[in-house]
Amino acid sequence: MSSINMNFDFCLSNRNHYARAFCCAMATMMCLMTSSSAFATAEYQPTAGVDVAWENNYVTQGRNNLEHGGIAWAVANIEQNDLAVYAIVGRADQVNYVEWNLGLEYTLHLANNIDATVGYQRLEFYGDERCSDNEFFGALTVNGLTWFVPAVNYTYATEAGGYFIELSIHSPWEINQHFTLTPYIVQGFDFQYSSEEHNGANHFQFGLEAEQKLNDSMALSAHISHSIAQGDIKQQASADDIQGSLDQTYAGVHFKLSF
């Protein structure tokens, strides 16, 4: 059975926002984080990072978001005392598509091995159509277990008026002090986030991540992932009269620099 790339448009009828106010808020937050007076009691100096990445397909929530080709990403972030702000830009390599994400997140250490993250991000999409969205997100991660790291991720989109939940398990294996292999599995559930007609199981994904630390501030990583379509994707494909395999296989590379 031939594989069909499902192009699920980011521009759902209910995704439109206000970018300028958020950009001003982001600029203010960046100034505060780099100001010693604003963090007079801070224990740590700010850290910054720059990332670049490329994926041969742009797959999110089990769906291929581009009709053809892959996407390249660039990320800049700054962090101090568990508060981080970031800017992400992505550009498709074969079609007319650009995406900007601007956000902030805060990590709460609930216990010795349990971390919770809450955040907000503004999304802007530029292509054949102009769209945008606001997302509030949270995550709960259990660290310190011997063989695996379980996590729950939640995302709510204001314009779509729905939310998406992912349950994941990662199992990092340190081959040596510089090289780590991490197999993982993810189960996704859609509740009017990606489609309006179905609530429940969306996709099951598994993959393998590999990271090579080049030094204390640089790392190179890669992944290969396979996503299996479930009820939410299948009903959407049926409504759109899409035939063929709905599963997705994709891979990517990622370079990270921190300073």
Q: What is the pLDDT of residues 22-31, one digit of tens each?
A: 444 444 444 4
For residues 120-125, give the mean pLDDT. Answer: 98
Mean pLDDT score across all residues of the chain: 87
* Of the candidate ranges 9-23, 44-58, 233-247, the one whose mean pLDDT is the lowest: 9-23
Q: Would you tell me how many other CB atoms lie within 10 Å of the CB of residue 131? A: 19
DSSP state of 245: B
Residues in the chain: 259
User: Residue 20: helix, strand or coil by DSSP?
Assistant: helix
N- to C-terminal Cα separation, the chain: 48
- Could you give the domains of the chain? 19-37+45-258 (2.40.160.40)
Q: How many Å apart are CA 163 and CA 152, to the nearest integer?
A: 13
Q: How many Å apart are CA 63 and CA 213, to the nearest integer?
A: 31
CA nearest neighbour of 193 among 127, 247, 136, 126? 136
Question: pLDDT at residue 19 above 80?
Answer: no
For residues 154-163, give the mean pLDDT. Answer: 96
Question: pLDDT at residue 256 above 70?
Answer: yes
Tokens 């489609």 sit on residue: 195
pLDDT band at residue 4 using 50, 70 and 90 as cut-offs = very low
DSSP state of 158: T
β-bridge partners, 212: 179, 220
Question: pLDDT at residue 216 above 90?
Answer: yes
What does the block give as tokens for 120?
A: 């907000």
> What stretches of 137-186 show up as alpha helix (H) in DSSP?
none
In percent, the amount of the chain with pLDDT more than 70 equals: 83
For residue range 103-114, what is the model confidence (pLDDT) as tens digits? 999 999 998 899
The per-residue pLDDT for 21 is 40
CA nearest neighbour of 184 among 211, 155, 220? 211
The per-residue pLDDT for 248 is 98
CA torsion angle for 59, 60, 64, 65 (degrees, to 10)? -110
The per-residue pLDDT for 90 is 99
Q: How many Å apart are CA 29 and CA 131, to the nearest integer?
A: 25
User: Residue 171: helix, strand or coil by DSSP?
Assistant: coil
For residue range 35-92, what is the model confidence (pLDDT) as tens digits? 433 444 446 789 999 999 999 999 999 999 999 999 999 999 999 999 999 999 999 9
User: Residue 32: helix, strand or coil by DSSP?
Assistant: helix
CA torsion angle for 227, 208, 163, 148 (degrees, to 10)? 130
Q: Would you tell me how many other CB atoms lie within 10 Å of the CB of residue 148? A: 16
For residues 174-187, give the mean pLDDT. Answer: 98
Question: pLDDT at residue 5 above 50?
Answer: no
The per-residue pLDDT for 198 is 84
The per-residue pLDDT for 31 is 43
Question: pLDDT at residue 230 above 70?
Answer: yes
The per-residue pLDDT for 6 is 43
Q: How many Å apart are CA 46 and CA 212, to the nearest integer?
A: 24
